[in-house]
Amino acid sequence: MPALTRLALLASSTDRAEDAAAALADAAPWVPLEEAEAVVVLGGDGFMLQTLHQMLDSDRVLPAYGLNLGTVGFLMNKARGSKPILDRVAKARAIDVSPLAMSAVGANGETNQLCAINEVSLLRETRQTAKIEVTVNGRVRIAELSCDGVLVATPAGSTAYNLSANGPILPLGSAMLALTPISPFRPRRWRGAILPDHSQIGFRVLEPDKRPVAVVADQKELRDVREVNLAIATDRRLTLLFDPGHSLDERIVTEQFQV
């Protein structure tokens, strides 16, 4: 990656992030986001996802280097370092990730399109168990999945909600997607699937009036959906920057040895 000289600085609204932004105010000749070649993000994973989505929505996607001022910080670098921030960004390793493109049809027949960097989740809205038909590449694989919900995770998001739902951790270079049920009742023994990332995945909500279902693409929710279709958006690539030895692929490997 060529040297990045014009950097923007974005901070979440937390006290820790704002204090860090103040401390870095004179550490670099920061420029406005619209003039930048890359962005330094101060906050947690949630703020990083918010920043990436804002860039996707604006169609101006910049490499993002995160400093963890939140909790887990899976998409971030350690906040404290011995080197100046400009040196850290200059020596960072670039990791490309592609989001999921989701198309969802609501009860009124309207179609909404969203992107998800981590996962797309279908979730029941009431006490009634959701019933969902699952298709892959146009072929019905499960005619009726009775569950609290179901999700599709990218490798970058496989250690988030997907892992909590007992889904598999996917290495970044695996070119795979995790299809994971959430509290499945029928088929009782189905624990999900690992699919090639060129797969077209579809969900159709059965008995939607009696058993309403919402869909969540990262942080955005649509309620009372009837049908959801997913595929990797190969034309909308994002770039995350990591310190040497602390890249996202290494964190995914490390996560599999946590006890």
65 in a known ligand binding site: no
* Residue 156 annotated as part of some ligand binding site: yes
Cα 196 from Cα 218, distance rounded (Å): 21
Residue type, 160: A
Q: Which position among 45, 59, 87, 235 bears the catalytic label?
A: 45
Quick one: which of 224, 211, 202, 229 has its CA closest to 107? 224
Known binder of ligand: residue 77? no
Please indicate if the annotation marks 108 as binding a ligand: no
Tell whether 229 is in a known binding site.
no
The sheet with strand 119-124 has its strands ordered as: 193-196, 176-182, 149-153, 119-124, 213-217, 220-222
Tokens of 112: 């909404």
Distance of CA 188 to the CA centre of its chain: 28
> Is residue 70 part of an annotated ligand binding site?
no
8 has binding-site annotation: no
Phi, psi of 24 (to 5 degrees): -95, 0
**Is residue 57 annotated as part of the catalytic site, yes or no?**
no
User: Would you say the C-alpha torsion 180, 143, 231, 117 has a positive or negative sign?
Assistant: negative
- Whether 214 has a binding-site annotation, put simply, is no
Confirm or deny that 159 is annotated as ligand binding.
Answer: yes
**Is 66 known to sit in a ligand binding site?**
no
**Which residues are CB-contacts of 207 (< 8 A; sequence separation ≥ 6)?**
131
| DSSP assignment of 195-259 | EETT--EEEEEESTTTS-EEEEETTEEE-SEEEEEEEE-TT--EEEEE-TT--HHHHHHHHTT--
The response to whether 18 counts as a known ligand-binding position is: no
Q: Is 241 annotated as a binding residue?
A: no
From residue 100, alpha-carbon distances to 92, 109, 133, 190 in Å are 25, 22, 20, 23
Binding positions are 45-46, 118-119, 148, 156, 159-164
Binding positions for NAD(+) are 45-46, 118-119, 148, 156, 159-164
* Catalytic (active-site) positions: 45
